[in-house]
Every structure is written in structure tokens, then in C-alpha cells.
Amino acid sequence: MFPWYGILGVFIIIFSEFTMFLRIQPFVYWFTPTVWIGYILLVDATIYLIKGNSLLMNKRLKFLQMLLASLDFWFMFEIYNKLVPSSGWHYLNLPQSRLVTLTMGSIAFATIIPAVFETYDLVRLFHIFDKIKMRIKIPTNRLFINTLIVVGIIFILVPFIVTTPWLWALVWTGFILLIDPILYLFHDEKSLIMLVKKRNFKIILSLMLAGYICGFLWEFWNYWAYTKWYYTVPILQNIKVFEIPVVGFLAYGPFALELYVMYNFTRLLLSKRIWGIGNF
């Protein structure tokens, strides 16, 4: 049976669209967080209908942890955005109240990881990439792993030193290069390096597809929104997917991988392997 909250998700999406197009106050300001809440509810309910378990039905603590991790991660990316005045994203038509803006933004930021991971779970149900086999060999010696970590550190520090429109290529890959090798050193099965080593590309490709699906929906819904963001990316800026230059849109795949790696690194930090306080 289709869970009740999935039907609620449909109504939330419809209500969000209705109030947004008619510019009904104060709901018009809350379009982005509410429409994504509706999306998450709908997708989770669909997953439960198909396979009999889902994050909201069976892993609510994990879902809550995703919300908190998402909020923390995106505030960090907002700091990076402030460091690069020549490129990045900017917000339009924010509420006059800073408290409302902070609350609205926090809810929207908290939906990012759950949206990507729920979409990933849905993509996996269709087994799109299960038969894909690639023979990619990467070195896994200590020198290679340490080199990745050093390059990752350089990438995430560059924004504090140099201003360049190419910065975001570093931001969306730097944390992968820094964090994933650490996951690999701890023999974490979720490490991207471990997945490549075992030729398990279905997880990587499904994550990237989930990133592009969510990216398309983020940009689609943002295009019509009243309170919205826009981009200043001085690279092929006239070729766009809705509001975002195509160069920026291509980053949504790596962005999903980055969220995956960062989330699993947080899980590792809170695991008994390091601190002895239980699994994340």
C-alpha cells in the first residue's frame, strides 16, 4: 500500500506550486523548502511501495542524521560562496526578517542530502547500471593515496588564497580527493576508491544520476520561484539549464559523490572504530 505521507507529499508539491504561481504571501517565500519536503515524502513513499522499506519507514534516525549533516555541509559551501565574489550564486527576494530567512534557508539546506540519497535509492530500484562493467585500474599504494589527500587539501585551501571563476571545479572535487582516501585507509566499503577497485560502478553511476535528477529539479523549480538564487559564472554563461550555466550544471554529478563521501566520513567519525560511541 502506498504510504499516507506520499499522498501528503503530492499535496505539498501542488500547494507549493499553486501559492508560488499566484504569489500568495507568505507561502511564496517558502516555496523551495516546502516543494522539496513534498518531493522527499513522495519519493520515499514510492521506494517503500516498491521494496517494502525506506528511510522514513525503517531508518528514521539515519534520515535525521542526513538532515543535520546536510545543514552543516551546505552552510560550509555558503562560506565558500562568500569567498568568491566573481562567481557563485546569489539570492533574490529574501524575506525582510533575518530570522525567517535563516529558518527558511536552514530547512532548504537540510533537504539536500535526503533528496539526493532518496533519489539514489529510487534509481537503484530500476537496476539501470547493474550490467555495466568497466575495467578501470587505479593504484592503491600509500604514495597514491597520500598524493590524493595532499591535492584535496590544496583544492579546498585555494579559495582562501586565489579568486578564480574556475574555483568551483576545485570545491566540488577537493573534498572527494581529501576525504575518500581516508575512508579507504579505514577499509570503508563505501569508499569510492574501494568501489572502483571492486568494479562496483553501479553505486557511483547511480549517485551521479541522482545528482543530475535533483540538479534538474532544483533548477526547474528555482526558475519559477519568487525567492530564488541566480548564478554569476563567467564561463559559457549564455548556455544555461534554466538559471544555471551548463558548466555549473555538469557539476551536479560530482556534487552528489561529494555529499556521499562527506556523509560517510561523518559516519566514520562517529563510529566505534574511532571514538567508541556507536555507529552512525
Cα–Cα dist 154/152, whole Å: 5
Q: What is the per-residue pLDDT for 278?
A: 37
pLDDT at 85 over 80: no
Q: Which amino acid type is present at position 65?
A: Q
Confidence of residue 258 (pLDDT cuts 50, 70, 90): very high
Q: What is the per-residue pLDDT for 134?
A: 77
Cα–Cα dist 45/66, whole Å: 17
What would the pLDDT profile of 95-152 be if each residue is shown by its tens digit? 989 999 999 999 999 999 999 999 999 999 999 998 887 777 788 889 999 999 999 9
Q: Which of 126, 89, 92 is nearest to 215 (CA)?
A: 89
Cα–Cα dist 105/97, whole Å: 12
The percentage of residues in the chain with a pLDDT greater than 70, rounded to a whole number, is 92
Q: What is the pTM of this model?
A: 0.91
Instruction: Give the angle 88-90-94 at the CA atoms, nearest 5°.
Output: 160
Segment 163-183 mean pLDDT:
85
Confidence of residue 165 (pLDDT cuts 50, 70, 90): low
The helix or strand, by DSSP H or E, that contains position 36, with its residue range, turns out to be helix 31-51
Q: What is the per-residue pLDDT for 161?
A: 81
Burial class (CB in 10 A: 0-12, 13-18, 19+), 69: buried
Q: Which of 251, 115, 259 is nearest to 176 (CA)?
A: 259
What would the pLDDT profile of 266-280 be if each residue is shown by its tens digit? 988 887 555 443 333
Domain ranges of the chain: 59-269
Q: For residue 91, which phi and psi values (nearest 5 degrees)?
A: -110, 145
Q: What is the per-residue pLDDT for 233?
A: 67
CB atoms within 10 A of CB 278: 8
CB atoms within 10 A of CB 43: 23
